[in-house]
Structure 1
Amino acid sequence: MKLKEQELAGRLKKGETPCVVLLFGAEQGRIARQAQALSLWALGGDADADFDAESFQAGELKDDDAISRFSSSLRALPFLAPRRLVRLKEAHTLPAAAREELKLYLKDPADSTLLLITAGELEAKNAVRKTVEGMDAGWAAPFYPLEGAAFTQWIEQTLRASGFAPERDALELLTELLTGDTRAAEPELEKLKNYVGEPGPVLVSDVAAVVSNASLHSGFELVAQLVAGNAPAALNTMARLWEHDAEPIPLLGLIAARIRRIAIAQTLLAEGAQPKSIAGKLRIFWKEQDAFFAQCRQLSPRLLAAALEQCLEADKGLKGMDGRPPEQVMESLVMALASLFGARGRPQSGSGSSRRG
């Protein structure tokens, strides 16, 4: 059956016992935490994972022997735990033969086993997803990246759980610098807590000193250079980012998020909303608001749509679909966006702007 992320814990508390749980989506951080909670529930406090738990990488189930071991594990009885736990990781990479074997098992799953399947993004027509969603004893829950206020709330809750109280501007800056993937954000929040030291207030200066330098150093500068069409400066900034071990996916997220926010702000402005209200709604860091609304005036919806298409292609490249190294994918994106945005100020061929009469 289809469930929301928030429904999983409640159903377990009610005593419901699924035979199969599928957790899938782009938000791997929350998937990992939910998988850990389900594993503890399945095994109980006194279980020995060496006897009652087994884990398989979907992409490795390529030959008959590997598929047979997987099938046997699913049908084995628990030794000490209330039920046996079998993990199937990265199910989006499952080979065809193993997928058919899994579909057969899902028709008659073992009551004494919890098959916990985790995966990246799965289309609605994916065979495993469709099968689990149609099972009474199967739960399928998607995990989407947190955006906007939801991501800000997660950041605040994560910090406050350890006794740290971020000020408003610090939260806004964290939301801008980090991405909706909590797995990528958690290490940066740990660095921030270590920098601040004792639990207490977290200032915007703390965030600027730690997170921006550690993860997305000069990220705002890069976006501004791209929007200005300044390719040489943007490439120099990219070089500094690599020197500071910036991760390509969060960096792409920062660029795409900025473009999406500009597009949303343009729509709201056209509907008569005031800039102050828009800045609050989109959680634009106050020091960035003048530059942000200047970009809203400079860029056309057509350019923004084309820029988001470029970001989508880069996302595919970072997932290995074109075989290029991540740094090359991002540098190509920088060149493409700088060229795209830079072209807005150049006269079009045949536009009548030539000096020749």
Structure 2
Amino acid sequence: MKPKQTIVHLPVYQPGKPIEEVKRELGLTEVIKLASNENPFGSSPNVKAALEAEIANISLYPDGGAVQLSEAVAQSLGVATNQLIFGAGSDEVILMLARAFLVQGDETVMASHTFPQYKHNCEIEGAVSIEVPLIDGTHDLDGMLAAITDKTKIVWICNPNNPTGTMNTDAEIKAFLAKVPAHVLVVLDEAYCEYNTTGQFPNSIELIGQYRNVIALRTFSKIYGLASLRVGYGIGHPDVIRSINQVREPFNTSRFAQAAALAAVKDQDFITSCREANTAGLQYLNEQFAQLDLHAFPAHGNFIMVNVGRPAADVFNGLLRRGIIIRGGHMLGFPTSIRVTIGSREQNEKFIAALKEVLAEVAVQA
């Protein structure tokens, strides 16, 4: 059996190494994972109770329309329920967007170094991916605008950008959208938006009210701490959401995911505490990097990319031997950088201690 020709060249997504595998491979008893931008503080205490209550319904299909969750999220955001669509993580919403709007020969525009699932899903549909180089780790919106043609169907903006952590401001996004042709759908992937504290982050809800061709993606995997349950969502004009719904698989989010997300979205005090701890963690790491004379991109999510001036694979392996899992930039297009999730204070301190040891033993890149 031969697979479709649009997928034969595609790489398989490589997630961060799991804790259990590292313990087994290296004989370690303590491993800290700072590789996948998970919440080191877990999830709201209310989530556990919601999951325990849901066990009684384990034999029943979930609500295909996620009605209760839709109502809660809509109320939280100030939008209508018909402006929301849920998926098994925002990854699935990306997949559905590509399935709903792209056909063979269409073009789609994205940054050169960004979340790889945009390109992956677009090329499955036979679309041509136009990749615009970043400028200082940030989306070049003018360059992306210039790349739009009559064939362009979707533009992807990851904000804050993964893997660099950089941000395009509200003013920049507004100026960009004012020039984008109406036939082009602009996807604002805001998986890390809840961590932002700048006061300059785009108000995507307001933008969606102004532009029918804008959709924002968000997730419960990051600050809400529900990564294992796979639930994310899109917010857009009802017509756009209706089109995506037409390709959505039935029962695509589980009862447990919906119950957990419902409990999580109602506990905004937990979200506030996580945001504050993340801000403190970012400040600590930036201070430490400055003392080590290492340059990091401005970080606006719950991770930071820092240039260690050495082969990223060597630094990754050196940290791994010390029980610290990060993401090596050699896998992300940044051969002398590493991406590290902001952990708890204790985790951050252990990471810095291990990093100092590794930097002392790995030669600077010539």
Pair in the same fold by TM > 0.5: no
Name the structure where helix makes up a greater proportion of residues. 1
Structure showing greater relative contact order (alpha-carbon pairs closer than 8 Å, 6 or more residues apart): 2
Larger Rg: 1
**Shorter-normalised TM-score: what interval?**
0.3 to 0.5
TM-score (norm 1): 0.32
Name the structure where strand makes up a greater proportion of residues. 2
TM-score (norm 2): 0.32
